[in-house]
Every structure is written in C-alpha cells, then in structure tokens.
Amino acid sequence: MRTTTLIATLVLMPFLTAGVQAGGDAAAGQTKAAPCAGCHGTDGNSPSPLNPNMAGQKEQYLVTTMMDYKNGKRQHAVMQAFLAPFNEQDIQDMAAFYASQKCK
C-alpha cells in the first residue's frame, strides 16, 4: 500500500505543481528592472537585435535564466554583473514584470 501511494505521488507531483507561479510582483519588478532598460528596453522589448526581448516570456523561464546568470551556471560577464546586487525576490519581481509585457 505504501509503495502504491509513493508511486502515485511521484507520478502526480508534476501535475500538482504545474500551476505554481514564480511569485513575483510586476509593479515592484518594473522599478527594479530599470538598470536593464539599456539593453532590453524599458518594457522588455530590446532596442537592438543583439539583445533578447524579455517581454512576454514565461515568468518561470525568466527567473530560471536570471538565477542561472547570477549563480554562474550561465556565463555572461555583463549579465552576472548586473544581476549580482539582486536577490531571488528581486529577480522574481523583474520576471513578473517582463512576463506581463507584450512582445512587439
């Protein structure tokens, strides 16, 4: 019985957590994202084709990507320097802001 319950829990866990939000505050994220505007635009739509658009991306994708840059899992000196002062909540807030914007 315990094995069946364990297996059922493991199989169903991804479906139970699929709707979990990253937990960011988009209004706070807009202010925190101000240093990013030079490369990614004030609304997440990059003014240059050399920099990716952040607008309209999935919030959890943005959180994961920014945390990977911050923690050195992804290598980019500029991104690491810009993200260094931000904590995880700051990053969640910025991700919520960018996810709420329309990609142009």
pLDDT score at 23: 87
Residue 12 has pLDDT above 60, yes or no: no
pLDDT score at 93: 98
Query: Is the pTM value of this prediction over 0.85?
Result: no
pLDDT score at 2: 55
DSSP 3-state of 25: coil
* Tokens 């990507």, residue located: 65
CA distances from 8 to 13, 16, 20, 34 (A): 8, 12, 20, 45
Domains, the chain, ranges and CATH? 24-99 (1.10.760.10)
DSSP 3-state of 104: coil
